[in-house]
Amino acid sequence: MSILIRQARYLIRSADRVERDVDVLIHGRRIAAIGPNLEAELTTAGKMTVLDGRARAVMPGLINAHTHLYQCVLRGLHSDLPLEPWLQAVVFPYRRQARLAYPDEAMMVAASRAGCAEMLKNGTTAFIDMDSTIGAAWRAWQEMGIRGAAAFNVANAQIPPELVAPLADIQRRVLEQLAECRALAAETPTLSFMIAAASPQMCSRPLLEWIAATAEAEGIMIHGHCAETAVEFRETVDETGFTPVGWLAEAGMLTPHTSLAHCVHVTPADRALLAEHETIPVHCPKSNMKLASGVSPAPAMLGAGIAVALANDGPASNDLQDMFEEMRFAALLHKVEGQADALTAQDAFRMATEHSARAAGIDAGVLDPGRLADVVLLNLEQPHLAAPGEIVPLLVYCAQGRDVDTVIVDGRIVVAGGRLTLADEAEIVERARRLGAERYRAMTAG
């Protein structure tokens, strides 16, 4: 299968490399060539799809480096709370009602499919989901054609007692899930597995050390929350004598293959640790704003050469899974203290593409020959995009997810004309709405 994008009005290879009026040729899963008049390079008579790029910006797919898809059905519940009371009001009742430490299958699948539909339509081609713990959800991702990393979320402290499992049970379950995920990924390489620490103070020291050792032994990446709130920072310092970042470093959790959501409350010494270990902080500006968690020093971390990624975080604390909006909030948030170039449009774009690709461990985020063919075609023929300015700032400050026309993941067209090609959107919406209503009734009755 080949795809030829003809005469892209803009080809955004990366935040700083833009070309005009060029073709993009995709063979199989990867970009084969970029340049003018590539139809001449088509020597095989194989099946080929030709897309007209003349009214399009062609850009790398956006990568949401941290989310919780099960929360798609928990939007609108107990808004305007800070993180810790919000966990007590929304997340823990949901899990308690599910009678397991992990969300149940039908809900997880319905919520996953709704979240994947939303992300794909908004130009997100890959994501890291913390909490997806069942093969049925992973198969749903595969069927819809999106690239997903299942970051298995573990915790054994500071959560309701009925949700705490013995350490040996957690370890067994993680390894079982890793084996299942690997078996599925052998069929569809868009799937990968990570181990995620819920947060430094929600995992015992033995559990953190086990995560670090297992990730290294199995060759998988580490994910998790870190330094999200002032409460977490204070409690971790009180209990361990270390900051949250410092405590993870002590446990061997900081590696170049580790990504940490939030990193709001980090000290200059923490920043030096993150830089030293090449660990990837994941900035979630909208979630931090909604939960009043504080402002991440993302500009200072970028300035220290750290590859800060970007993410929406869960749908119950953002609440949109729209990386265009997230780029805009990232670029705007850090200007309010008086420095207009604190975090530029190019910085935000790079975070949502190249840096998030590093967090997700995928060879994407940049459009160059040999890279994975995760590509978005954005419709420029609209009133708010009819401007001759620089294309990357134009997209960061003006574009919205609904401007996305075509999405290609792993060389396959999964959104065409703004519609999903591999799934029934109406059925996805109906199922999420119905199961979400059932769960909400059960939660509020309990």
313 in contact with Zn ion (CB under 5 A):
yes
Piece in contact with Zn ion (CB under 5 A), picked from 96-104, 106-114, 272-280, 308-316: 308-316
> Shortest Cβ distance from residue 238 to Zn ion (Å)?
23
> Shortest Cβ distance from residue 228 to Zn ion (Å)?
8
> Shortest Cβ distance from residue 261 to Zn ion (Å)?
5
CA–CA dist 75, 436 (Å, integer): 10
Question: The tokens of 142 are what?
Answer: 């595969």
> Shortest Cβ distance from residue 361 to Zn ion (Å)?
18
> Shortest Cβ distance from residue 224 to Zn ion (Å)?
9
> Shortest Cβ distance from residue 66 to Zn ion (Å)?
6
Pick 313 or 347: Cβ nearer Zn ion: 313
Nearest residue to the partner Zn ion, using Cβ: 313
Pick 51 or 208: Cβ nearer Zn ion: 208
Beta bridge partners of 412: 409
In the chain, the amino acid numbered 342 is A
Piece in contact with Zn ion (CB under 5 A), picked from 13-21, 193-201, 202-210, 306-314: 306-314
User: Beta strands 419-420 and 30-35: pairing type?
Assistant: unpaired
232 in contact with Zn ion (CB under 5 A):
no
Piece in contact with Zn ion (CB under 5 A), picked from 119-127, 234-242, 312-320, 399-407: 312-320
CA–CA dist 129, 142 (Å, integer): 14
Beta bridge partners of 150: 129, 193
Contacts (Cβ under 8 Å, ≥6 apart) of 193: 149, 150, 151, 152, 177, 178, 181, 182, 185, 220
CA–CA dist 173, 143 (Å, integer): 24
Pick 313 or 374: Cβ nearer Zn ion: 313
> Shortest Cβ distance from residue 282 to Zn ion (Å)?
9
**Number of residues located near Zn ion, criterion CB under 5 A:** 1
CA–CA dist 248, 209 (Å, integer): 9
129 in contact with Zn ion (CB under 5 A):
no
> Shortest Cβ distance from residue 126 to Zn ion (Å)?
17
Q: Are 262 and 251 in contact (CB under 8 A)?
A: no
Piece in contact with Zn ion (CB under 5 A), picked from 115-123, 310-318, 393-401, 436-444: 310-318
347 in contact with Zn ion (CB under 5 A):
no
For tokens 């909030």, name the residue. 329
325 in contact with Zn ion (CB under 5 A):
no
As a whole number of Å, the end-to-end CA separation of the chain is 52
410 in contact with Zn ion (CB under 5 A):
no
Piece in contact with Zn ion (CB under 5 A), picked from 46-54, 251-259, 305-313, 341-349: 305-313
CA–CA dist 86, 97 (Å, integer): 16
Question: The tokens of 307 are what?
Answer: 């590859």
326 in contact with Zn ion (CB under 5 A):
no
Cis-peptide into 403, omega within 30 deg: no
- The binding site for Zn ion (CB under 5 A) comprises 313
